[in-house]
Amino acid sequence: MSYQAPLRDMRFVLHELFDVSAHCELLGNGLDRELIDGVLEEAAAFTGNEIAPLNRNSDEEGCQLVDGNVTTPKGFRAAYQQFVDNGWASMTGPVDFGGQGFPQLVAFTFHEMLMASSLSFRVYSGLTEGAVLALHKHGSAELQKDYLAKMVSGQWTGTMCLTEPQAGTDLALLRSKAEPQADGSYKVSGSKIFISGGEQDFSENIVHLVLARLPDAPAGVKGISLFLVPKFVAKADGSLSDKNALSCGAIEHKMGIKGASTCVMNFDGATGWLIGDANQGLACMFTMMNDARFQVGLQGLGIAEAAFQGALRYARERLQSRGLAGAQQPEKAADPIIVHPDVRRMLLTQKSLVEGSRMLAAYTARQLDLEHGASDAAERKAASKRAALLIPIVKAFFTDMGQEVASHAVQVYGGHGFIREWGMEQLMRDSRITQLYEGTNGIQALDYIRRKVLGDGGSELNALIGEFADLADQASARPALAELGKVVGERLNQWRELSAEVIAMSQRDAQEIGATSVDFLQYSAYVLLAGFWLQAAAKAQDALDAGSSEIEFYQAKLHSAAFYVRRVLPRASSHREALLGGADCLMAMPEDSFAF
Amino acid sequence: MSYQAPLRDMRFVLHELFDVSAHCELLGNGLDRELIDGVLEEAAAFTGNEIAPLNRNSDEEGCQLVDGNVTTPKGFRAAYQQFVDNGWASMTGPVDFGGQGFPQLVAFTFHEMLMASSLSFRVYSGLTEGAVLALHKHGSAELQKDYLAKMVSGQWTGTMCLTEPQAGTDLALLRSKAEPQADGSYKVSGSKIFISGGEQDFSENIVHLVLARLPDAPAGVKGISLFLVPKFVAKADGSLSDKNALSCGAIEHKMGIKGASTCVMNFDGATGWLIGDANQGLACMFTMMNDARFQVGLQGLGIAEAAFQGALRYARERLQSRGLAGAQQPEKAADPIIVHPDVRRMLLTQKSLVEGSRMLAAYTARQLDLEHGASDAAERKAASKRAALLIPIVKAFFTDMGQEVASHAVQVYGGHGFIREWGMEQLMRDSRITQLYEGTNGIQALDYIRRKVLGDGGSELNALIGEFADLADQASARPALAELGKVVGERLNQWRELSAEVIAMSQRDAQEIGATSVDFLQYSAYVLLAGFWLQAAAKAQDALDAGSSEIEFYQAKLHSAAFYVRRVLPRASSHREALLGGADCLMAMPEDSFAF
């Protein structure tokens, strides 16, 4: 499937909305506008020309497991080598281990492009970047020396081995064990499932980060430790040992992302080393959680962009029926289906969700950068709180959105949407995993309401709402934006009231936490996107007022903002009404009565 | 995947809500309660024991095309023989050609079971039943004599050959041709795509109904005629000719229903006969449209039931985390996930949508029966109008609902939902076609608003709303149902007002027809289901008041009704607000600006 990175919109978001040059100056990383735009161009060429063409075949061919070795689809191995050689793998890696230390506010655009080009291909490197984060933050100097540089460069890959058959969401049920050895190493044993990239054929070593229990560990999540268990142990002289006592027992047959190997990994007394302190495994994992969940959110965004591009292409080419107000292109056998209001409804829903989400992604990326890189400790803390609030929204909302937008693409193609060669149904299948892994979207919603909203009595959320309310007030004072500003301002007030109500309900009855969680997250996301659309409209109006020559581009932003507020934002109403329906009607049904 | 027909709920709908025995007496078909319940038991055994076990493998194996012959998945051929031998194929067929003439109000339950067991398997016979309807209504006595009985019995199958590469929704663009021959036959030529069951390996003959143009036909849809083009021509002595000049050129590789062959059919001067009058092909097809769309609606319903059953099974078995109000089953390692409010939200959404839709299916089936079988002409006409109003809702809403309910099932399974062996992701993939074929759901919504609502100025719709409003008034007068009755009554009033507004908007601006269509259909469906849930609650309350021993069953109905109204019906609000957003914000974006 063809894919072209949406460079104009990315530049709008980076430069016009978030002033990425000033951000980079503040972070002191030496990136300027010219350099950033150059990277974006290169990234667009790499993903569009090298990665996207592999995606369709990767779905047909999938991965094969033969004698414990996994073969990835044709072209993946070579493309990965290019990914490493051209420095894409090390883009966000720590500078002290050879990484380029790009801020998330720049890197997220490349990662979105990767997701859009081939989610399967991206899975391998995405997991490696997560492992790098955990190892860089918590690993001993020796482990870092032996493993980190090659993981940062992408020469070696990494995995996250958390899930076991009986322990998915509930890691307290984890059974894998680690026996301490005299030399300070451990023998790790257990069976892990759903391990993305557990085996593949394009890196000479794979570094597994494995959650397991020490012999004397307390029960539950407080007794879980994190271990580095390499496929081949790095020896002092830089050579590799014989294969460690671990193996890929099976690969899963899945709905989608068939080019990504999803492995059952068996550890049979494999040699490993503790990362961080004993029994602090979950805390070590949490280090990378925000980034990992942000990346999964970008998967939803990337797939949505690819789906929108596919749908738009088809809607402009496919001739079928005449417009409701008469023939629009009478010289042709029929009008292109983009003339039909309902096709436009689907396309604009896609477009406004994708572009709205891209603004939220950038905003969140900026917080992640400031959390780590701001010079002022208070600023770092503030950014950390803001990022923590937004991450579950980004993960859950973007991935639900990705699935919806891909489904609209299938619908725009009509019967052809169901046919594999057109590629739209693959996007639906590939994106479906994003709602499940890295914490299901239900778990994201619980995290949002419990830790991020109830956790501080709603104060961070209210601060966020307040900032957007100020923007709405400013917009309302400008005639061209008054109507938009008014509608968004009213929703922000409603959000503030609703969050107070949700907090009160949850304090009265713990079941309300879970009963309101998903609807409240969705509600929040739709209103938040309205806030960003208002910002985009204001910037577009500024540009038009200043006499920009890109009139069509900025007018399109105003049209999209109006569409979003009038035709998508109303979804917030139903989420609000539904969650106010409360927990009683969920809990009243006896378990046995479900089956009637 | 295991499947058990929901017999208790089906009996509730048939006997308690719609008094099927009285209905059958009115139709004079000799069916009584005992017979009907017996058929349901047999149907449940056949679908649960014989068909459902084939479904998972049929997805893995798919269909193969070798030298023009199609091989269907293992077991399909033998199961189809059983389907024919046991009389399931002829259940609704016309009595004068060996059919059993079951009313839809009974048969729909069997068809729902078939869809739930294996949509792929059902596709073949579903198309045959459609072809029977068209041939029975419009075919010459000679064609009927030669073909109909064997199609009714299921010994021969039928197809519908409408779509061509350039002509999907827009049949005006159809190019296939039919040349008249001296003997009264025609030579039919053209290429048709998306022909379900165009080839298969389980019937000795396949009777294609083909849309094509006569040499002198006017352009557009007024120049389309319908032809019967058999794979083998039935000769006067009952034997079959050599193969007709038609062939399966390819089979499609699809997202789902892989056990159903989807064929490119090439007609190369194949011998055929006109069905009905010249240039009346579309009218002849319309004969079977209501039934065909009703059947596709049932596909959504059946898949949804199967998905609900799968999700419920897993939610009761899977142990993960503890309830929000503390451990519910402290003796186990964790609580079953059905204790979590958000899992219950998904299960109850599934359950209330499935059972609500089943009531609407039964109501619609009853209208279809009365349309054909009521003794009074005015009653037939009234039923015909009511059925016509409801069919697009049934087709579009049930199939969207099927996709949603299947997706909830995937979500309840967590990561396992994405793995093929568990079967949930197959339900999502299989059901996705139902939103596309037999008229996309966007086309259904246009049919609903344009022909069925605007077509009579909203009078049939208002009559329907009025009938439900009376029920709401009655319910409001009963203390136990007062709250439910009030909420539903308010929505019905809102529906009446909204339909007046939609009509007015559409009369002002033709683009509003397409701009409001999908949201208005969805709005209508959610309110309609609320009306049926109110009826169900009233019947349940009646039974409880009368001292029924099935207290849990009837209380579950009351719980489901309350859940539906409080947590699902609010979706109507967002559809209403969105459609009131109007067409302007859809049409304002210039075509070129979508691509920014």
The pLDDT value given to residue A89: 98
Does B206 map to a domain? Answer: yes
Q: Min CA distance, A78 vs chain B (Å)? A: 28
CA end-to-end distance (rounded Å), chain A: 46
Interface of A with B in 411-430 (CB under 8 A): 411, 414-415, 417-421, 425, 428-429
Is B417–A429 a contact, with Cβ atoms under 8 angstroms apart?
Answer: no
- Alpha-carbon Rg for chain B, nearest whole angstrom, is 24
Nearest chain B residue to A553 by CA: give it.
B596
Task: Give the helix/strand (H/E) hosting B137.
Answer: helix B119-138
Distance CA B495, CA B485 (A): 15
Distance CA B264, CA B510 (A): 36
Per CB-CB distance under 8 Å, the chain B contacts of A9 are: 596
Confidence check: pLDDT of A174 > 90:
yes
Does B211 map to a domain? Answer: yes
Confidence check: pLDDT of A1 > 90:
no
Mutate to test the interface with B, among A255, A309, A484, A491 (most CBs of B within 10 A): A255
Confidence check: pLDDT of B140 > 90:
yes
Q: Is B563 on the interface with A (CB under 8 A)?
A: yes
Q: What is the CATH number of the domain that holds B29?
A: 1.10.540.10
Return the structure tokens found at A593.
Answer: 């009565």
B126 plus B187 within the same structural domain: no
Q: Min CA distance, B411 vs chain A (Å)? A: 7
Q: Is the distance from CB of A208 to CB of A228 less than 8 angstroms?
A: yes
B569 plus B453 within the same structural domain: yes
Beta strands in B57-185 (DSSP E): 64-66, 69-71, 157-161, 177-180
Burial of A21 (0-12, 13-18, 19+ CB in 10 A): middle
The number of domains in chain B is 3
Distance CA A47, CA A58 (A): 15
Distance CA A74, CA A77 (A): 7
Q: Which of B438, B490, B512, B577 is catalytic?
A: B438
Single out the residue in B135, B164, B181 at which a domain terminates.
B135
Q: In this structure, what are the phi and psi dihedrals at residue A324, rounded to the nearest 5 degrees? A: -65, -25
Confidence check: pLDDT of B287 > 90:
no
The pLDDT value given to residue A199: 98
pLDDT tens by residue, B83-130: 999 999 999 999 999 999 999 999 999 999 999 999 999 999 999 999
Interface of A with B in 194-253 (CB under 8 A): 194, 252-253
Distance CA B23, CA B15 (A): 10
pLDDT tens by residue, A315-362: 999 999 999 999 999 999 999 999 999 999 999 999 999 999 999 999
pLDDT tens by residue, A392-406: 999 999 999 999 999
CB atoms < 10 A from the CB of B272, how many? 26
A175 plus A212 within the same structural domain: yes
Nearest Cα neighbor of B246 from B162, B180, B190 is B190
Return the structure tokens found at A134.
Answer: 């955990």
A54 plus A176 within the same structural domain: no
Does A370 map to a domain? Answer: no
B77 plus B196 within the same structural domain: no
Return the structure tokens found at A47.
Answer: 């993903």
Residue B160 bridge partners (DSSP): B209
Q: Which whole number is the average pLDDT over B358-386?
A: 97
A12 plus A54 within the same structural domain: yes
Q: What is the CATH number of the domain that holds B255?
A: 2.40.110.20
Q: Which whole number is the average pLDDT over B361-383?
A: 97
What share of residues in chain B are helix, strand, coil (percent, to 5)? 65, 10, 25
> What is the biggest distance separating any 2 CA atoms in chain A, rounded to whole angstroms?
84
Does A317 map to a domain? Answer: no
Return the structure tokens found at B411.
Answer: 């979500």
Q: Which of B418, B436, B441 sits opposite A418 (nearest CB)?
A: B436
pLDDT tens by residue, B386-438: 999 999 999 999 999 999 999 999 999 999 999 999 999 999 999 999 999 99
For the question of residue B179 being annotated catalytic, the response is no
B559 plus B495 within the same structural domain: yes
Q: Which whole number is the average pLDDT over B566-586?
A: 98
The residue type found at A322 is R
CA end-to-end distance (rounded Å), chain B: 46
Distance CA B303, CA B122 (A): 12
Q: Is the distance from CB of A30 to CB of A102 less than 8 angstroms?
A: no
Q: What is the dihedral of CA B31, B34, B39, B44, to 10 degrees?
A: 150
pLDDT tens by residue, B460-494: 999 999 999 999 999 999 999 999 999 999 999 99
Q: Which of B344, B419, B553 sits opposite A587 (nearest CB)?
A: B344
Is A254–B420 a contact, with Cβ atoms under 8 angstroms apart?
Answer: yes
Q: Is the distance from CB of B89 to CB of B154 less than 8 angstroms?
A: yes
Q: Is the distance from CB of A384 to CB of A310 less than 8 angstroms?
A: no
Confidence check: pLDDT of A407 > 90:
yes
Q: Which whole number is the average pLDDT over A131-152?
A: 97
Q: Is A263 helix (H, G, I), strand (E, B) or coil?
A: strand
B516 plus B482 within the same structural domain: yes
Confidence check: pLDDT of A238 > 90:
no
Report the share of chain A in percent with pLDDT over 90. 98
pLDDT band at B357 (very low <50, low <70, confident <90, very high): very high
The pLDDT value given to residue B286: 86
Residue A267 bridge partners (DSSP): A190, A246
Single out the residue in B279, B299, B334 at which a domain terminates.
B279
Residues in chain A: 596
Interface of B with A in 173-202 (CB under 8 A): 173, 193-194
Q: Is residue A234 left, alpha or beta, with left meaning phi > 0 and alpha meaning psi from -120 to 50?
A: beta
Beta strands in B172-220 (DSSP E): 177-180, 186-196, 206-212
Mutate to test the interface with B, among A585, A587, A591, A593 (most CBs of B within 10 A): A585
A110 plus A37 within the same structural domain: yes
Does B393 map to a domain? Answer: no
pLDDT tens by residue, A485-532: 999 999 999 999 999 999 999 999 999 999 999 999 999 999 999 999
Q: Is B445 helix (H, G, I), strand (E, B) or coil?
A: helix
Nearest Cα neighbor of B147 from B63, B233, B241, B262 is B233
Distance CA A569, CA B54 (A): 44
Interface of A with B in 98-117 (CB under 8 A): none
Does B35 map to a domain? Answer: yes
Nearest Cα neighbor of A349 from A574, A573, A563 is A563
Is A343–B316 a contact, with Cβ atoms under 8 angstroms apart?
Answer: no
Instruction: Name residues whose C-beta falls within 8 Å of residue A86's C-beta, 6 or more positions apart in sequence.
Output: A46
The pLDDT value given to residue B288: 87
Q: Locate tokens 């302190």: which residue?
A: A277
Confidence check: pLDDT of B1 > 90:
no
Instruction: Name residues whose C-beta falls within 8 Å of residue A376's C-beta, 6 or more positions apart in sequence.
Output: none
B110 plus B220 within the same structural domain: no
Confidence check: pLDDT of A292 > 90:
yes
pLDDT tens by residue, A202-217: 999 999 999 999 999 9
Q: Which residues of A are catalytic?
A: 438
Confidence check: pLDDT of A308 > 90:
yes
B99 plus B229 within the same structural domain: no
Per CB-CB distance under 8 Å, the chain A contacts of B8 are: 596
CB atoms < 10 A from the CB of A457, how many? 12
Distance CA B333, CA B319 (A): 7
Does B269 map to a domain? Answer: yes
Q: Is the distance from CB of B401 to CB of B304 less than 8 angstroms?
A: yes
Q: Is the distance from CB of A269 to CB of A279 less than 8 angstroms?
A: no
Distance CA B305, CA B117 (A): 10
A127 plus A173 within the same structural domain: no
Rounded to whole angstroms, what are the CA distances from B293 to B107, B126, B227, B434, B447? 15, 11, 21, 10, 12
The pLDDT value given to residue A338: 98
- Helices and strands in chain B, H and E counts: 20, 11
pLDDT band at B26 (very low <50, low <70, confident <90, very high): very high
Confidence check: pLDDT of B238 > 90:
no
Q: Is A141 on the interface with B (CB under 8 A)?
A: no
Nearest Cα neighbor of B243 from B255, B234, B232, B230 is B232
H runs (alpha helix) in B338-455: 341-373, 377-412, 424-432, 441-446
pLDDT tens by residue, A27-39: 999 999 999 999 9
Supply the range of the domain harboring residue A95: 7-135
Q: Which of A321, A511, A574 sits opposite B325 (nearest CB)?
A: A511
Is B510–A572 a contact, with Cβ atoms under 8 angstroms apart?
Answer: no
Q: Which whole number is the average pLDDT over B511-516?
A: 98
Is A403–B407 a contact, with Cβ atoms under 8 angstroms apart?
Answer: yes
Q: Which whole number is the average pLDDT over B39-45?
A: 98
Q: Is B546 on the interface with A (CB under 8 A)?
A: no
pLDDT band at A119 (very low <50, low <70, confident <90, very high): very high
Burial of B280 (0-12, 13-18, 19+ CB in 10 A): middle
Single out the residue in A104, A135, A166 at which a domain terminates.
A135
Q: Locate tokens 């081995």: which residue?
A: A161
Q: Which whole number is the average pLDDT over A383-400?
A: 98
pLDDT band at B196 (very low <50, low <70, confident <90, very high): very high
Distance CA A440, CA B347 (A): 16
pLDDT band at A451 (very low <50, low <70, confident <90, very high): very high
Does B337 map to a domain? Answer: no
